Amino acid sequence: MKTDDLINMLASGPDVAAPKVPLQKFAMVVSSGVLLSVILMLAVLGLRPNMGELAMLPAFWIKMAFVLALAVCGWVAVTHLATPGARTRQLPLLIALPIVLIWLLAAVSLLNATPEQRADLFWGDTWHYCSWLIAILSAPIFIAILRVMRQMAPTRLRLAGAGAGFAAGAAATLIYSFHCPEIAAPFIGFWYVVGILIPSIIGALIGPRVLRW
C-alpha cells in the first residue's frame, strides 16, 4: 500500500473498508519461505523413519491437528495485521483456542498417567533442542512474511511483527512435526508452543524497525 492510498483511506472516514491483502502475491512469497524451510528440514533432519507406525496412533493425528490449527491461525493473523483498518479483535481468542484444547488434553494425560510416567510425557527425549529447531526452521518463513507485510503498511508494527513471528513459528512447527518423534500432549502443548513463542517475541522486538514505512 502506498502512503497516499493510506491517507485517502483514512480521510474517507471510519466506515471505509480496508483494502484487501493481495493473497496471491502474499501466498507466493510465503510459499517460497515454506519451501526453503521444508528443504532445510529434509536436508538436515530428515523425515522420521517410523512415520508409518506413528501415523497409526491417534496421538499423532492430535498433534498434527494442533499444529495445523496453529498454522491456520497464523495465516489469519498476518493477513489481518498486514493492513490498517482490518479487524483483529477475535485473533487472541482464535489463537488461544487450539492451545487451550491441547493444554486440557495434556492435563488429562498427566492425571491419568502414573507418577513415574509424567516426567517422560512432559520432557520427552528432545526437549533440549525441539523449540530451538522450530525457531531455526521458522527463519525463512519469517523473512518472507516480513517482506510482504512491509509492503502492506501495517500500523501496529509491534503487534504485526509478533503476528509474523507467530505465523512463521506455527508453519515451521508443522514442518518439524514430520521429523519430531514426540506425540505426547504435555510435550506438544509446552515445547512446541515455546518454539513458536521464540520468533513471536523476536518479531515483537524488531517489528517497529523492520516494518516501519
Query: Residue ranges per domain, the chain?
Result: 22-210
pLDDT recorded at residue 44: 95
What is the 3-class SS of 92-159, one letter each residue?
HHHHHHHHHHHHHHHHHHHHHCCHHHHHHHHHCCCHHHHHHHHHHHHHHHHHHHHHHHHHCCCCCHHH
pTM over 0.75: yes
Angle between helices 91-112 and 58-81 (to 10 degrees): 160
75-120 pLDDT per residue, tens: 999 988 987 777 788 899 999 999 999 999 999 999 999 999 999 9
Question: How confident is the prediction for the chain on average, in pLDDT?
Answer: 89
pLDDT recorded at residue 112: 96
- For residue 7, pLDDT over 60 is answered with no
pLDDT recorded at residue 15: 44
- For residue 16, pLDDT over 60 is answered with no
- For residue 155, pLDDT over 70 is answered with yes
Higher pLDDT, 90 or 63: 63
